[in-house]
Amino acid sequence: VKGSDVSQIELAPAEYRSKGQRYYRLSYWLKQKFGHSVFKACLDAGFSCPNLDGTLSHGGCIFCDHHSFSPTTDVRLLSIADQVAKQVRKWERISKNSKYLAYFQNGTNTYADPQTLKALYDAALIHPKIVGLVIGTRPDCVNDEVLDLIASYQQRSFVNLELGMQSSHDRSLEWMNRGHHNQCLDEAVAKCHARKVPVGLHVILGLPGESTADMIATAHKINALKVHAVKIHNLYVTKTTRLSRLHAEGKLHLPSLDEYLDILINFIENLDPAIVVERLVSESPPEYLVEPSWILDKKRFLLRFEQEMEIRDTWQGRKLGF
């Protein structure tokens, strides 16, 4: 499959609904786009972040433990080409005929000069089973030069930029020490749209001080930004983060499983049905996690989510009139 023109494969919402699906799953979209199963090969190119190296702050986001995002031990000792090969071998034990997206996940994956970035992205695309790039970054780290480079990959490959939004409320961004406000995200998304680069946004539900109405406002903002996909996370605490100190001092409420299901379903009911949902819940390796422990049983979570959607007889975008 060449190029990233998501409009070519955009489905009418009713199409996945008619297949019994209550929300626009990533797996469904990937199958439509590529015609076979596609997995993400998670890569760690050793990028830092302006919110960690002192450019904006040394503390980072309040929840950040970037080792727990991709705790694949010593992957950073390997070249990008070797990391790709290792990830493909791992997935091939499960599925022989799959293809892969090279997912630059750890740190801020556009935080270097374009020549350095090009060498890393090119190295990932050499493997014959890689069909695209997914690049995770901050909205304040995508200048025109970098976006032009990313857009140029659309000639030969799928490419998707993941931006950390987290919340549509600037007071929440300040609380978590993001180091940017929402206006910065608006500008980054507009620049991606101008280059037809599909955008996925990361959001966190359950932030202190945010009501359900506040989180629904974030869903509405995502709709207005007309992005391709969203990754939804519940607020969770890992060791060695500043969030873990607040948690230890008893100053943090984390939604229970039932509370989170209610928040999540409200959010999805307010999400445009044309937006792909890439994730419904946070994941953390048990050795890093402090709380909530219910995220460790993802199968149970997904089952409860599906059951609750059935019980409520609801679906993505229902509260928007779809």
Residues lying near ligand SF4 in the complex (CB under 6 A): 49, 51-52, 60-61, 64, 66, 107-108, 138, 164
In angstroms, give the least distance from the CB of 3 to ligand SF4.
28
Nearer to ligand SF4, 129 or 138 (CB): 138
In angstroms, give the least distance from the CB of 49 to ligand SF4.
3
In angstroms, give the least distance from the CB of 155 to ligand SF4.
29
Amino acid, res. 148: D
Nearer to ligand SF4, 40 or 242 (CB): 242
What residues contact 210, with CB distance under 8 A and at least 6 apart? 167, 169, 172
In angstroms, give the least distance from the CB of 112 to ligand SF4.
14
Please name the residue that has the structure tokens 């391709």: 228
What residues contact 116, with CB distance under 8 A and at least 6 apart? none
Nearest Cα to Cα of residue 49 among 11, 118, 106, 133: 106
In angstroms, give the least distance from the CB of 66 to ligand SF4.
5
Separation between Cα atoms, residue 143 and residue 124, nearest integer Å: 22
Nearer to ligand SF4, 166 or 316 (CB): 166
Distance, C-alpha 56 to centroid of its chain: 22
Please name the residue that has the structure tokens 């050795």: 287
Amino acid, res. 229: A
Tally Cβ neighbours within 10 Å of residue 100: 21
Nearest 5°: the CA angle 21, 18, 302 is 5
In angstroms, give the least distance from the CB of 54 to ligand SF4.
12
Nearer to ligand SF4, 52 or 227 (CB): 52
Nearer to ligand SF4, 52 or 131 (CB): 52
Nearer to ligand SF4, 70 or 98 (CB): 70
Nearer to ligand SF4, 24 or 111 (CB): 111
Tally Cβ neighbours within 10 Å of residue 181: 15
Separation between Cα atoms, residue 167 and residue 57, nearest integer Å: 20
Tally Cβ neighbours within 10 Å of residue 143: 12
Nearest 5°: the CA angle 127, 133, 136 is 135
In angstroms, give the least distance from the CB of 183 to ligand SF4.
17
